[in-house]
Structure 1
């Protein structure tokens, strides 16, 4: 009998890891890092929750850290097997993991120099050499192509429309099959085509990040433009903590549209994240090569990512020069949840100033600095010191690349009803709400699995 074991991504939006075991072969779908609350982050330091000697392959649905960021840990513990991804995920995950290792190493260095870590010495979870070994394991697979990944287990990827390369994964063995949604994208994604319908399956694993809410795109777009106008009018600048992969591209496309329509003033736009700039190059290459995920209207005409006064900040010196902008500006910097990266220096400088505005444009997990801002914190801790929050904080989660509750239901029901649906990758209320709707509105058996739970397929 084939089984599924939930090793992460249950009761939280981070750490996704789902083990598919046929009895003769094992495949791990996603290999995510835990983020947010300290008890979750500490789980990254435990021994791996599976036997690497029995694991045959890893499948990555996309390149965000909560789905791929634990891979270098497994490599550090000896994993040398294949990692199956799409081409876009392979390109972006190499960037994301390298940046993650760099940030971990830099944070450990700063902690040791400043003495604010309780560990002596502070160490990174993994380093760049672990990432280099991990990236060499990638085995790209095209969408809609069936590929054998382990003894008796076949894999097929379908477009998920979340970020470039993102996919749902269809695993089949004999007459049993499992579909893992990864993260679902949106019908209204500004760069990517919508998700492809899912195939029939016995077990469906569906994410639930926004399983209890809806996005209002029209209202969010108008509020975004109005926020920029209002902030510039009082002489302030807009800081946007944005995920370096995809969110930066989506924001640039929207800023370009607003600028061309005259709905926002002509302001300098700074992209301040080496990872975001590397990701932007991958997106531009995908458009130039007409990848099948890209919206066709972006493949012709002017640069879709340039609002007119775009400046790319590559060096730390360039970054420091915009900590206190000399004129109203828009600064896009990573990380999106403000857990690390250059955005922390901008927050330290700009949060105490009421002229400025911080715009949170995506999901903020519990325990992250971005979530503290969303929840109205009066101060947040950065680099060992508390920083007062006097700047305006605006939340616009309609810019999230995650499907909302209605979009998740639309995708889930795009194929025949599975025997069981497992609602994962969501905080408890979101996951429970989506499971209840699947049961009440469609009569499905929908379960929110427990962490570590093992079930038959």
Structure 2
């Protein structure tokens, strides 16, 4: 007997956050990724909406990687009654512990601040989820090794493959079999590329009937220039004028890559030795997790955590007092802080201090989602005179630059080249995790370059396959 496969995109079908895909087969429900919506207030409000199906009807959750837009809704899922297992790689589990607990702390602090300052439309502002919720759902994680089949339900198994995006990031291959019939659906999660200095690229796509592919950069090409060389040019310009370089960087993945790049530039004599401050407690913890998973490090990588990974004058800032001192120090210096899209956190305090001085520089080195403060500054820096931070207008005189090819996402050319490695033509490729125009563009590239059947999840959120 053949059972139909139903896929329903509950998030990331028209944007790049809130990744959640409901998979239904043989009267069983599974969720692939369970992320938060991020961006402007109207988008974040969707995180307060319960799933359209009872949470306790979901048999298990499969996680591709530990970024908040892929795991951040898990505590909310637990609140709604989910008690099943959560399958992921060892690296993803290690990072999830850091990210979920940090996110819960920020939620609680935000709610406390709103109550104390009465800066809320609600009489008693509540956090989206609590530390206890995060601790509860972390107990449901079941890390599994890559490349081995794991039975997760009646007639259904999963196998993980490296995705090359961050530590632990994995393609999730799902095999469903009944009688003599078998179908395979593979979720790419976020796909990396071969240009990282520290991480291996993605494994080839396994033979699959249906592929759910991310389309973050489906309409863009990264610059084909040496990212380290470009970073060195920017840093030298700011250092030469005694400026402070502020780098908004995602705590997981990007911060570690940037630290190593700066160390390489120092060792090559491209830039002088200056103070380099990592002002992000979560980045500091993620750095330790990074070194615990050399299975994802580049083969024969030249970095060594004890000799040449760190810049010579490197320091971490973990306490609030240390962070405040970092905002007050004179240049030249380099500060790496989060959040990477300027959505909140310590980076905003650095910007308030540094934006009014033309000697200073802000270097964007990661994807800035539509509606975020980072995207607004990136797109409008040439004409902006001020930027609103913490309800106040801050003068904008610092130089704003972008290194686009430091993204941990593959662009459309890299995605098509990666797809070509598989000898098995999928029956269907569905694009999600991208703006509608990016999804549509990637669909056309796949059809033209590979001759494969592809469609965008932005045009239809529910798909049935026999």
- The reply on whether 1:431 has 2:431 as its aligned counterpart is no
> Residue by residue, what CA displacement relative to the aligned partner does 1:90-134 show, whole Å, maximum 9, x if unpaired?
000110111111112222222232333333332211111111011
Alignment of 1:330-349 (within 5 A): 330-349=334-353
Shift in alpha-carbon separation, 1:301–1:346, aligned structure 2, 3 A: closer
Q: Which residue of 1 aligns with 2:169?
A: 166
Q: Which residue of 1 aligns with 2:361?
A: 357
> Residue by residue, what CA displacement relative to the aligned partner does 1:395-439 show, whole Å, maximum 9, x if unpaired?
112111111111111222222221111011011121111111111
The structural deviation recorded for 1:24 is 2.1
Q: Which residue of 2 aligns with 1:144?
A: 147
Q: Distance in 1 between matches of 2:241 and 2:299?
A: 37
- The reply on whether 1:442 has 2:453 as its aligned counterpart is no
1:286/1:294 contact within 8 Å kept: no
> Residue by residue, what CA displacement relative to the aligned partner does 1:273-292 show, whole Å, maximum 9, x if unpaired?
110000001112224xxx25
- The reply on whether 1:84 has 2:92 as its aligned counterpart is no
Q: Distance in 1 between matches of 2:344 and 2:15?
A: 20
| SS of match in other structure, 1:156 | strand
> Residue by residue, what CA displacement relative to the aligned partner does 1:355-394 show, whole Å, maximum 9, x if unpaired?
2111110000011111111112523332222323221111
The structural deviation recorded for 1:227 is 1.2
- The reply on whether 1:454 has 2:462 as its aligned counterpart is yes
Q: Which residue of 2 aligns with 1:252?
A: 259
2:219/2:441 contact within 8 Å kept: yes
The structural deviation recorded for 1:300 is 5.2
Alignment of 1:51-200 (within 5 A): 51-174=54-177, 175-200=182-207
Shift in alpha-carbon separation, 1:295–1:339, aligned structure 2, 3 A: farther
| SS of match in other structure, 1:435 | helix
| SS of match in other structure, 2:161 | strand
Shift in alpha-carbon separation, 1:115–1:353, aligned structure 2, 3 A: farther
1:352/1:389 contact within 8 Å kept: yes
2:104/2:129 contact within 8 Å kept: yes
The structural deviation recorded for 1:450 is 3.4
Q: Of 19, 23, 28, which residue of structure 1 is paired with 2:26? A: 23
- The reply on whether 1:313 has 2:317 as its aligned counterpart is yes
Q: Distance in 2 between matches of 1:94 and 1:326?
A: 35
What is the number of residues matched between the two proteins? 454
The structural deviation recorded for 1:216 is 2.3
Q: Of 322, 325, 339, which residue of structure 1 is paired with 2:326? A: 322
Unaligned 5+ segments in structure 1 are none
| SS of match in other structure, 2:394 | strand
Q: Which residue of 2 aligns with 1:232?
A: 239
| SS of match in other structure, 1:375 | helix
Residue range with higher mean Cα deviation, 115-124 or 362-371 = 115-124
> Residue by residue, what CA displacement relative to the aligned partner does 1:117-162 show, whole Å, maximum 9, x if unpaired?
3333322111111110111111001110100112221000000010
Shift in alpha-carbon separation, 1:293–1:260, aligned structure 2, 3 A: closer
TM-score by length of 2: 0.94
Q: Distance in 2 between matches of 1:434 and 1:169?
A: 21
1:27/1:56 contact within 8 Å kept: yes
1:190/1:250 contact within 8 Å kept: yes
Q: Which residue of 2 aligns with 1:285?
A: 292
Q: Which residue of 2 aligns with 1:49?
A: 52
Q: Which residue of 2 aligns with 1:391?
A: 398
| SS of match in other structure, 1:331 | strand
Shift in alpha-carbon separation, 1:206–1:304, aligned structure 2, 3 A: farther
1:24/1:151 contact within 8 Å kept: no
| SS of match in other structure, 2:251 | coil
1:11/1:425 contact within 8 Å kept: yes
| SS of match in other structure, 2:55 | coil
The structural deviation recorded for 1:442 is 1.6
Q: Distance in 1 between matches of 2:112 and 2:92?
A: 30
Q: Which residue of 1 aligns with 2:407?
A: 400
Unaligned 5+ segments in structure 2 are none
